Amino acid sequence: MALVRWVTEMGMGVDVHGNDHTKAGKRAVSDALRHSSLNFFKAAGKNRDDMHVEVIIAVADPDDVDVEAIKAEVPYGTVTVRAVPGGLDLPTADGSDVMVIANAAILVSFPEES
């Protein structure tokens, strides 16, 4: 089954204190979702549960991301999440804390109709 991408949305999230890559990633997904309103379902004959949603989280330490926690942020569709290198870890001047900045891309696709 071939998928056709219909929507690409981006977001950014920050964990200001705590060095938590998952928290920053969840905030990036939330940011992206708050900027979208998909109103084409009825006109296109689509259903929100038919969506295939790919979430890509870019953080400095992708192994520190709980992909299941990120996945839970997306309310509809079949969701996959992967964490990749990117984002930014910004230590405080004295090195006692780290600000984590994450970027998210949300890609929404539907099965291609034959």
Structure tokens at 109: 């696709």
Q: Which domains occur in the chain, in start order?
A: 3-35+45-111 (3.30.1330.20)
Q: Would the pLDDT of 10 be above 80?
A: yes
What is the predicted pLDDT for the residue at 56?
A: 98
Q: Dihedral of CA 11/39/107/67: which sign?
A: positive
Query: Could you tell me if 106 and 29 are in contact, meaning their C-beta atoms sit under 8 angstroms apart?
Result: yes
**Percent of the chain beyond pLDDT 90?**
72
pLDDT tens digit sequence for 30-73:
999 988 877 888 888 888 888 999 999 999 999 999 999 999 99
Q: Does residue 114 carry a pLDDT above 80? A: no
The C-alpha atoms of residue 28 and residue 23 are separated, in whole angstroms, by 9
- Give yes or no for a contact between 55 and 36, defined as CB atoms under 8 angstroms apart: no
